[in-house]
Amino acid sequence: MVLEVSIFKILPRGHCFFVYRSSSKFKIIALSLIELPCVLAEMLYETIYFLLDTKENNNDFSKELTMQNCFSLSELVKKIRIVFFLGFFLSMLIGCDPAIQYRKLVKNQLNSGITNDTLFHGVYFGMTYDEYYNHITALGHQGKVSQGGDMSVQCEIDEFDTKIRMNFVPEYINDSIQVMRVTYSYVSWAPWNKRTTDDLLWKDVINLYRNKYGPNFIQFKSNQSARPALVWVLGNQRITLFQKDEAKVNARFTNLRKTNS
């Protein structure tokens, strides 16, 4: 008996089930739509193999291939084409949509139970105002940081060809640090200085973050720049890197367990 699909239905959350008949047996399959193209390809192969085998073992092939079988095969091929395209489209959509990737990544990281509160220079999520103030004061006495503009703390990064200034300002939720805003700029920036262009700054900061947080980030279209925003999610910590203007690159560290953003 040539394979014939009798029921096909798409279920919520990207799953489906269908009933088909092969060799006089009914079979029920339930699977995700992403797996569907491979399964249907196997079904099509089984059907073609059956027809070829019948032709080889029966001289009067036309009698075996009845009109009912031809109709079943024709309908099956149509359904395979439709469902294959649907499965391929959904798999591409799931694999390429940054929003879907991001939600899945956040869910997996939060469910992992990993707590990543460490930021930089000994600062961490959950620090109170007094703890932060005392810690920064101690770093200032050691010459590691200094007072920056707009109530920020600043330090310098000299591991690149051109020295970079880092300014950071904490945001408090329920009297403890849960967000950290960071700005990077070249110390010797000037519009005419070819060694301090926004392209070079962007590349230097990306390399800095790739080396520290790894290459697994998600790109989002940014409303503030032609460049994309880059997002890392490491446990409960989300790191967003973006650019507002040609002289600065911005970063934002967020504790996902304590914020709704």
pLDDT digits (tens, 9 = 90+) for 218-258: 999 888 778 999 999 999 999 999 998 889 999 999 999 99
Residue 110 shares a structural domain with residue 178: yes
Sheet holding 4-11, edge to edge: 4-11, 15-22, 25-32
- Lowest average pLDDT, out of 7-11, 162-166, 179-183, 238-242, goes to 7-11
User: Tokens 């469910």 correspond to what residue?
Assistant: 111
Q: What is the CA radius of gyration of the chain?
A: 29
Domain that holds residue 221: 99-255
Q: Is the whole-model pTM more than 0.85?
A: no
Residue 75 shares a structural domain with residue 172: no
Q: What pLDDT, on a 0 to 100 scale, did the predictor assign at position 150?
A: 87
Kindly report the average pLDDT of the chain as a whole number: 79
Cα(70)–Cα(143) distance, integer angstroms? 84
Would you say residue 172 lies in a domain? yes
Residue 104 shares a structural domain with residue 25: no
Q: What pLDDT, on a 0 to 100 scale, did the predictor assign at position 72?
A: 55
Q: Which helix (H) or strand (E) holds 130?
A: helix 129-141
Residue 109 shares a structural domain with residue 83: no
pLDDT at 155 over 70: yes
What is the average per-residue pLDDT within 18-40? 52
pLDDT digits (tens, 9 = 90+) for 88-128: 555 555 455 788 889 999 999 999 999 999 999 999 999 99
Residue 219 shares a structural domain with residue 113: yes
Tokens found for residue 116: 């990543």
Would you say residue 260 lies in a domain? no
pLDDT at 67 over 90: no
What is the average per-residue pLDDT within 178-183? 98
